[in-house]
Each structure stands twice: as C-alpha cells, then as structure tokens.
Structure 1
C-alpha cells in the first residue's frame, strides 16, 4: 500500500525542469524505444559531452540595467518567433505519442516557434501541414539514392508552404548505435514512414524502416547547386562543426547553418556543438544565420548559445520527452519551461533582449 501511495504521489508531482520530463519518458516508454531515442554512437562520448560542455561556460552578468521590461522574441530568416528555441528534426514521433508529428506541429504553432519536420516522420508532410496550417515549418531533407524521390519531396514541401529546406549533411552512413543493435530494434507498421509510401516497395526495410544504405553517400558540395535549382526555398545546412565547412557553406550561398553533431549519434569523438559554435560563427561573419542543436537542457543553456553566436537553438530529445509525457500538451510544457528559464536567465544576467551577451 505504501508503495502504491508513493508512486501515485510521484506521478502527481509537477515536472519543473527538463530532467523531470526525461525521467518520466524513461520510466514510461518501452525500454527499446527509450534506448532508440537516447542512443548515441559507439561509446556515447560526444552525446554526453554535448551536455557537459555547457557546464564549463560561465556568465559575466551585469547589474543595475533596468530589467523591468524584457523581450524574448527574435526572427529567423525574417520570420518572428516568440523565443529563440525551435524543435529540431527527429523522426518516429508516433513511438512517443499516438498523433506523432501532428502533435509536434500543433505544439510549435501554439508556442509560436519553428518546427523542423523530419524526412523520417511517421506523419506525412500533408498531415503535418493540416494539423498546424499557420505554423512556421521547415523541412529536413536526407538525399536518397533514388534522387527522383528526393526531387519530388523537395517540390512537394515547397508547394505545401514549408518556409525553408534543411539539408542534413553528416549522415552518409548511419552511426553505430549499440543499444539498437543489442535490442534488434524494429519498427511496427503503425510507425511507418508516411513520406515514403510507394517508395522502396518490396525491398527489405531493416534499417530504421528503410532499405539498408538507402541514403546516398555520394552527396557533396556540388549537390548544393542541384538542390538550389529545384526550389526557391532558403537552404540551411545541418551538421557543420568546422570553420572550413562553414566557409564553404557561405561560398555556396546557403542562408543558414545548424551547428550540430547529430545529437552524438553519428561520429563519436567530435566536439560538443556549443564548443564548435564560436569557430563556425566567426567564420560565417554574418553572411548566413547560425543556429545550434545538441545538449540544450535549460534556459541558461539557450542564453549561452546566443551569447556565443547562435541566432536560435533547436531541441530534439526534449521534444520527445514532452510528447511521451502528454503529447501536444506535454511538448508545450517543455517549451514553456525553456521559455520561462530563458527569460529568467536574461533577467539575472541583465540582458533585456534576446541578443548576444558575453558569457
């Protein structure tokens, strides 16, 4: 009886920080599903370093600068968002909640921020748009060996009103995620990839619901011009960690860069995203907007990223935790926690606007 009371008491306790949402998701999702979302590559050094790196960055707060009025709004590619945190592209949201990416899109629309929909969504791009017709949406693209499919998908999202195209550049092959291998992780038919209906029919789909090696490993900088010829959408490259690639991206006329190591799920042993940010921002010199994902867990993390050169940050795993908690409502709660913490961090650092400030 005591144990039942204690578990009931814990379930009613408010979730006050992102770690609380993480613990809820871990205890309620099936073990293999949790490990799929939580997985890093190989020894998970980069995944863990994404979190630890923020703890080594300290603020230099100012005082007596009148914090009675603060503004969290900002713009990305000319579109206003309520605060500089968006939702990063992650796939398979129906593993976390029944409505999948439709709940994600609605939460982003309600919170007036940007949602980057994944190629590997369980909901089709049409379903995502129908769920949140007024939302700010970007589309994340993997280029597959069947280039005609990728071409059709780009034109499809542009016709549906997506406002930007985000090319993930750090996945010529899938990183080795040991837990998925140990669990022989397989997807159910209910978590099929809707954007791929009619594609790869009759082929083995053993790798995350797709044929092994379906992503085109030959993609290179020459393909940037090819993509730009297909669409009028602004192009953002996700997965840049060095000044050399940042300079190449600017040279190829992209409008944005997401500093990212894929949540530590690709090459283990690369820098934390926040540690690569300064180098990338300095190389870009304002010629493209710079964003970041990886390791954001508090509002003060957001402020640190902005201080070091990011225009906006995107969260991946925390969005999944919110969905696992209460679907659309749970994700809204995650975003509200980050927004409130971010605003408080601004106030305590004496930074009245959502702008750069020295850490």
Structure 2
C-alpha cells in the first residue's frame, strides 16, 4: 500500500491531477483490450515506459460507452465527443501505466470569417478515379485521389521512390500539403496501389470540420466552411446520416432482389472504382438471394497492398439510396471472408457515387446527394 501511494503521488505531482480523478485498475499482464461501443474490440499493450499512453477513439458524434479490460480488472465510462479520460493500470502491483482514452478534438469551422468556399478543379477518368492537384512541402506537385474511404495522405511506393523530392519521415511526422488555396497538415503513409493514374490519395479526415462538395456537373471540388443555403431548398437532395466505424464513415442504403430487401450501412468510398461491393458472409447472414443474381463476369481485383481479391460481378435488381433508386446494378460480390477492416462490410463505390453531386458535411456528420448528369449513365461493366 505504501508503494502504491508513492507511485500515485508521483503521477499526481507530475500531471496535476487530484487523487480522486485517477482511478486505478490492476493487471498481471501487459495485454489488454479496449471495447468502444459499436466498434471492433481492439488489442492494447499497457506501457509503464510511456508518460501518457493514449488511445484515440473513432470520431464520436454522441456520448459513447468505453470499456478497458486487463486480464484481471476493468474500467468503464461514457466518453463525450472531444473528451478524454485518464486512469492508471497498476502492472504486477508495482509498475504504473498512465493511460488515456481520448476522443478526437471536435473540429467545426462554420464560424470562420470570411467564409471559405475554396473551389478546386476535379478530374475523373474512365476508371472512375477522382483526383485533385496538390503540392507537398511546397516542393512536390502530386495528383491525388480523393478517397472518402481512406484517411490522411498515402503515397504509392513508385511516387515515393521516383517522384517526391522531399525527404519524408513516414507515419509519425506531419507535413504540409496545399490543395486549392488552403494548406493542410497530415502524416504520410505508403502503399502499393491507389486509384488509376494517381500518385496517392487523401482521405476524408483532412477536411474534418468542413463540408466537401464533389460536383460532377461542373467538375469541381469545393471546400466549404458553411453549408450552402440553397442546398437545403433542393427537393431532389437526400440527406443521409453518417456512422463512423474503424475511422471511416458509412451511410445507409437498401439492396433488393427477387422480393428480398435489406437495409444496411455501407462504407462511403469514392476510392473504390466500381459500383457496390457486397460481402458474401453478410449476404448469407441477411438471407439475401445472391445465388439468384445473374452472373455477369468473374475477375481478380487488387487491393491497396496489391493483394488479389477474387470478385464475382452479378446483376442486382435494385440499389436504393434515400429516395433515389438505381436498377439493374452490376454489383461485385466479395468472395474473401473479410476486408481490410477485419470486419464484414458492404461498400458504395464511385461508379454509383459519381451519379450524385455530393456534400459531405463533417460538421453535422451528414451527407447530401443530388442526382448529377451521370445518374442514368451506362455502367462500365455493361459497356
């Protein structure tokens, strides 16, 4: 007990917390797990060597239940958006691990004066890859895919090895990237493959707290600090709530075939070039008649790690997003058991999403979709 009090006193004087504000839980092993409501269970190793050992949750849009479990003890609490909770894990009765569970800082730029409406040329190629020009570190001009299913800045190995002049430290160091008239800070990661004809990708979180407009009628991407007022008056626009999972956002959609209708959350993924990717295990759980869908073709696709993914493309009678329905959609059915999320999910890709002018509102965490001139365009798989 005396040793424990000495350890607590050290932490209290170092970090300025009162004794009552630092709960203590016990552990006989470094291995722990973090249970975030609505998310996959995450493995964690407690570390007495780190002054503040912090775990960052998904972007929270409401108070969320968190539970931290060691091999012999646990602590649970409700975490609000932008909040953090501190506690001590006492390892083997002697080593104190100062632990923090934190929600990302809330970003909301709607009060900026003057308002921002930064218009950027948007390019889309025949493979449905959308891209914008960007400058990294004021030196390297890059063509980057805006991938709403990705995060931060990711560059392909070929670009890193043969094009980028900047000396980059991957994974941990933030760098400046200029897009349009604004400069953003982000860490840089590497990958093997991104959208066709691009040097890499930028993810949704670069614009957290803003509104991202993708206008396929005018071929522009606009970064707004406030939602355009005219959008709310547009009767053709549908408004969809966002749900965050594994640091990406999902929206609701409905698939239907032979009288069976299924409503589910879909990854909103402008970086996926096809129509809709349906997870075979989920379809079985949902008793969806995938075996009755007409097979169009079978191909091998490649993931961001250049891994082979066997995919069957079959005709889906109906895909409904809000009040807008697309019929006879050539949908891809994933035959592998799980995606990179280590979970079974469905995906909306840009062959569908380009049919809508889109506003991704990362202030209210909603998406607005307006039918674009591509709404009735032929599908690539059928041409």
Q: Normalised by the size of structure 2, how large is the TM-score?
A: 0.23
Structure with higher RCO (Cα < 8 A, 6+ apart): 1
Q: Which has the higher strand share?
A: 2
Q: Normalised by the size of structure 1, how large is the TM-score?
A: 0.24
